[in-house]
Amino acid sequence: MRTVYILWLRQLKRFIRKKANIVGALGQPALFLFALGFGLSPIFARAGGGNYIQFLAPGVIAMTVLFTAVFTGLEVIWDKQFGFLKETLVAPVPRYQILLGKTLGGATVAVIQGILVFFITLLTGFRPESWLLMPIALVFLILIACLFSALGTAIAARLEDMQSFPLIMNFVIQPLFFLSGALFPLHQLPQALELITKINPLSYGVESLRWALTGQSYISPVVCLVVLTIVTGALVVIGSDQFSRVEV
């Protein structure tokens, strides 16, 4: 337990000390909210979709959690390049505990960042349907964060250096976001797109959050909960296995 705690603490300390990064990471979600939120709002309303800001805000919060969690997971590559990973790998602790500590650390950071963006959505006029459902929204937020932090760490365990970073960015993270229903409703989609959104775990994250925050969703929150839990569990197992094979 102490291993998990110290690795978690390290992630948190690194996060809090990089104040510029915290502010910087708010830029993209703010831009999405202002530009897309206000820009597409009239057309969305005319098409009968209702208030677009209400629809978009949960998607943008999920996006923030996705990016922060995966990036924090990918920090393992930095640790590899700057040598610090060796220090953890020669320590007499099981590798899965290292992975768990890193995953939870990354998830905590992502949740904090997600909550900050939630406050930004309030500034743009977003109002949650019921404050009573907030604890449930938080649970979903934590699940999404754990899932993608585990994903980032599992990917990082396989990579040697940051050169593959643009590849992951463009072929994993961006598609996960754009094909998730964060920006558009998941009904009456072309078949191919519908299939893709259905196998994208972030869709379930976005929908669960949307349900908890606005009371509306196309996928039932119970299904979301089950899918998110199973995928997170699977990624932790896969990540542990990847991590146990890391050689430096």
Partner 1 sequence: MIELKDVTKKYGELTAVNNVSLQVAAGEIFAFLGPNGAGKTTTIKMLTTLTRPTAGEITIHNINVVSDPAGVRRTFGIVFQDPSLDNELTAYENMHFHAALYGLSRAQYAERIKLLLELVALTDRQHHFVKTFSGGMKRRLEIARGLLHQPKVLFLDEPTLGLDPQTRQHIWNYVRNLNKTEGVTVFFTTHHMEEVERAAGRLAIIDHGRIVARGTPAEIMQNAKATTLEDAFIALTGHTMREETSDFGKNQMRTTLKMFK
Contact 68/113 with Cβ under 8 angstroms? Answer: yes
86 binds partner 1 (CB under 8 A): yes
Q: Which CB atom, from 82 or from 131, has the smaller least distance to partner 1? A: 82
Per-residue contact track with partner 1, 124 to 153, x per CB under 8 A? ------------------------------
84 binds partner 1 (CB under 8 A): yes
Interface pick for partner 1 out of 82, 166, 191, 199 (rule CB under 8 A): 82
Q: Which CB atom, from 17 or from 127, has the smaller least distance to partner 1? A: 17
Q: Which CB atom, from 81 or from 220, has the smaller least distance to partner 1? A: 81
Contact 96/244 with Cβ under 8 angstroms? Answer: yes
**Whole-number CA gyration radius for the chain:** 18
Any residues with CB less than 8 A from the CB of 30 and at least 6 apart, and which?
117, 120
Contact 207/219 with Cβ under 8 angstroms? Answer: yes
What's the closest the beta carbon of residue 107 comes to partner 1, in angstroms? 19
Span 144-203, contacts to partner 1 by CB under 8 A? 160-161, 163
20 binds partner 1 (CB under 8 A): no
Interface pick for partner 1 out of 12, 14, 51, 129 (rule CB under 8 A): 14
Q: Which CB atom, from 187 or from 247, has the smaller least distance to partner 1? A: 247
- Binding residues (CB under 8 A) for partner 1: these are 2-3, 5-6, 10, 13-14, 17-18, 81-84, 86-94, 160-161, 163, 247-248
